Amino acid sequence: MKTLTTILLSLLIPGFLLGEDNPKNKKLVIGKIIPNQEQVAEKLPNVNPDKPKKPFRKPFPAHWGKPPDIQTRDLKPLPGGFGMGSSTLAHWIGENIKKDKTGLTKPNRPKPSKEVQEKLNAMRLIQNELGVARKSLMEELKGKSKEEIRELIQSFKDAQKEKHEELKLAKKELAQEVRDKIQTRDRRE
């Protein structure tokens, strides 16, 4: 047993003295690991101010939709000044540019009929009148007591009740007229 203990001690003592983790040179910190300066220097990124940054690619027009998900790994100049990218992306951009030139991307929205336009304008006038009345009410309410505010609001509601009803009716009539129209692919009849 004595021989086993001496062998173990003879192996452990040189390991403590010659090992890298010598407790004489390090502080004991519980619950916190302090990295060596060499380890910190290795993990810091190499920041080179002379190195040019990645160029910003201008965004694609929204009406083109989403670019293709699956692309090849080749790199070529993209048409339309969109920088560099795959040939799949270049083909997609080229097709969309052709569609834009021929005008096939967005059909023109048809103009509403004169009757509908008149109703729409009348409804907007009522909305504007109510907006002006609300702004003037807000100016009157400044600096008033709670009782005065309640009275002013109630009188405003009573005075504007007819306009609110007129606006509701105009909106319903307009919505009904639009629903009654037959809607085809490129124009309303």
The domain locations on the chain are 73-106, 114-180
Q: Which residue has the higher pLDDT, 188 or 46?
A: 46
Digit-coded pLDDT (tens) for 74-115: 888 988 888 888 899 999 999 988 888 887 555 566 677 788
State if pTM tops 0.75: no
CA 46 to chain centre: 32
Share of the chain above pLDDT 70, in %: 67
Distance CA 17, CA 22 (A): 7
User: CA dist 61 to 36, 83, 92, 94, 97, Å?
Assistant: 51, 15, 12, 13, 10
pLDDT of residue 189 exceeding 50: no
Distance CA 186, CA 17 (A): 89
Distance CA 5, CA 50 (A): 63
Digit-coded pLDDT (tens) for 25-81: 555 556 556 666 665 555 555 556 566 666 667 888 888 888 888 888 888 898 888
Say if strands 84-85 and 76-77 run parallel, antiparallel, or are unpaired.
antiparallel
